[in-house]
Structure 1
Amino acid sequence: MAHDKDKLVDARGLLETIFHPNSRPSLRWLRQLQADGKIPYYKVGNLVFYDASEVRDTLHRLQRKPT
């Protein structure tokens, strides 16, 4: 049985899941990261879904700067 944390979410759900409401970026920002291939996503037909934990991990890696 899948847990809630294992569910795939749509773009709005992703932003709501991983960002605080006061610091939530725009849907346009998320779509640009997707188009640039910077975050993982899953396509099911014409629908796009995200694994919140995968995206969170990816954003942490992108944020870190090499020393």
Structure 2
Amino acid sequence: MAFELDDLDPRQKKSQPRNLDVMNVEDLEEYVTVLKAELERVEAKIKAKRSHAAAAASLFKK
């Protein structure tokens, strides 16, 4: 069975950073707001996953 070289590529490609030089101040401020909201979303997901992992660990320790 042969394999494709495409199978070796990561499933999710990392996005390239935005070019901030072409953005005006208002666009930059809006971008900061979007990034802060995304950071809050990611931190909430981390907290939920840690809580889930801790609950599973305590269940299996009994």
Task: Point out the structure with max Rg over C-alpha.
Answer: 2
Between Structure 1 and Structure 2, the one with more strand by share is 1
Between Structure 1 and Structure 2, the one with more helix by share is 2
Higher relative contact order (CA closer than 8 Å, sequence separation 6+): 1
